[in-house]
Amino acid sequence: MGILSGVKIIEMEGIGPGPFCGMQLADMGAEVILIQRPSPEGTKAPPNDAAVLNRGKKIIQLNLKDPNHQSQVMDLIRHADGLIEGMRPGVMERLGLGPDICLKENPKLAYGRVTGWGQSGPLAHAAGHDINYIALSSALWYSGRPGDAPVTPPTLIGDIGGGALHLTIGMLAAIFNAHRTGKGEVIDAAMVDGSANMMNLLFSSRAGGRLSNERGKSLLDGPHWYDSYRCSDNKFITIGALEPKFYQLLLDKLGLSADQDFADQLDSSKWPVQKATLSRLFSHQPQAYWCDLLEGSDACFSPVLNPDEAAQHPHNMAREVFLNRNNNLEANAAPRFLNHPCEPPANAQMSTSADVLAEWSQSDK
């Protein structure tokens, strides 16, 4: 039984952040009902690219433009703790399923909305994707080398960090508040808001004078001791020896303790020379050599791994970070709970609104 056992969530079919939030809630034990568009009659269902994100959910196929199907959704909403939707602002209202109507039918409902630009503002109705939202929020600014165009891991900062995770937090807070007060809430989770919020750790450094608007001049985007390096086998490693004692250990292990070029860790004028030296040093040996020398020490080291390599790493295997199902790689549920251990999430199951409504009506008694 997951820690959210008994919590009932309706997820309207979408892409990216909404399904990810639904997966997280299902991983923690919530009963998540995914309302999915039926495939046009006579056509094959498209490949299930969302198989991982739909794990642990029950799927009901309903046409939200059909008044009868809308009525079935509303019947479920009356018994739900939360609803997740990721459509453009105004779409749910046009379908007769907007927050005003839903909260009138279920005053305790946590109505979660995730979009790129938010429900209001001059860009609210414009199209966009992860990279656009994090560019506008400044979360993309410090990614990449000085003088080069910024680069970012696809979807991780905007869709997942700025959108899905903030939506999950908002849903849990609203459900908790409803249990305390009996009052529902509407959550406006915008990726531009969330990714800006994630910048507050860097903004804290900025307030202390340690973050520059000039890329490559700050503690986490310029120094030689916080970067990735190419090895002789064209694989990569990472160093993050921020604290002085960890930096000194790194120098000791690399045989650089007596090199005066490395004596002052924080002298940014020497960072380019120091980085060039480390680049040459690391390029002389394969990744495995540096793993043998540095991994597991306080030098703040790790290899850069592709997904298949990550799944086979001893640390990840010991913690069962990944699972393989039907020859597909998935990351296991996170976070972990001591008294509510998560079982490997089950595959999605097809259901009907009548069956789910019967179960939910019984559980409400």
Picking from 194, 175, 214, the residue whose alpha carbon sits closest to that of residue 16 is: 194
pLDDT of residue 150: 86
pLDDT of residue 220: 81
* Residue 150 amino acid letter: P
pLDDT of residue 144: 81
Picking from 132, 254, 253, the residue whose alpha carbon sits closest to that of residue 190 is: 132
CATH architecture of 226-304: 2-Layer Sandwich (3.30)
Sheet holding 236-240, edge to edge: 226-230, 236-240, 301-304
Residues lower than pLDDT 70 in the chain: 41-49, 365
pLDDT of residue 48: 59
pLDDT of residue 49: 63
pLDDT of residue 215: 84
The residues assigned a catalytic role are 129, 159
Beta bridge partners of 237: 229, 303
Report the distance separating Cα 295 and Cα 102, nearest Å: 53
Please write down the HEC assignment for all residues of the chain.
Answer: CCCCCCCEEEEECCCCHHHHHHHHHHHCCCEEEEEECCCCCCCCCCCCCCCCCCCCEEEEECCCCCHHHHHHHHHHHCCCCEEEECCCCCHHHHCCCCHHHHHHHCCCCEEEEEECCCCCCCCCCCCCCHHHHHHHHCCCCCCCCCCCCCCCCCCHHHHHHHHHHHHHHHHHHHHHHHHHHCCCEEEEEEHHHHHHHCCHHHHHHHHCCCCCCCCCCCCCCCCCCEEEEECCCCCEEEEECCCHHHHHHHHHHHCCCCCHHHCCCCCHHHHHHHHHHHHHHHCCCCHHHHHHHHCCCCCCEEEECCHHHHHHCHHHHHCCCEEEECCEEEECCCCCCCCCCCCCCCCCEECCHHHHHHHHHHHCC
pLDDT of residue 209: 77
- Every domain of the chain and the residues it spans: 8-199+337-363, 226-304
Collect all residues with Cβ–Cβ distance below 8 Å to 26 and sequence separation of at least 6: 9, 32, 55, 56, 57, 345
CATH topology of domain 8-199+337-363: Rossmann fold (3.40.50)
pLDDT of residue 44: 52
Given this chain, do its domains 8-199+337-363 and 226-304 carry the same CATH topology?
Answer: no
Report the distance separating Cα 197 and Cα 325, nearest Å: 35
Collect all residues with Cβ–Cβ distance below 8 Å to 100 and sequence separation of at least 6: 93
Q: Do β-strands 328-331 and 322-325 pair in parallel, antiparallel, or remain unpaired?
A: antiparallel
pLDDT of residue 136: 95
pLDDT of residue 326: 80
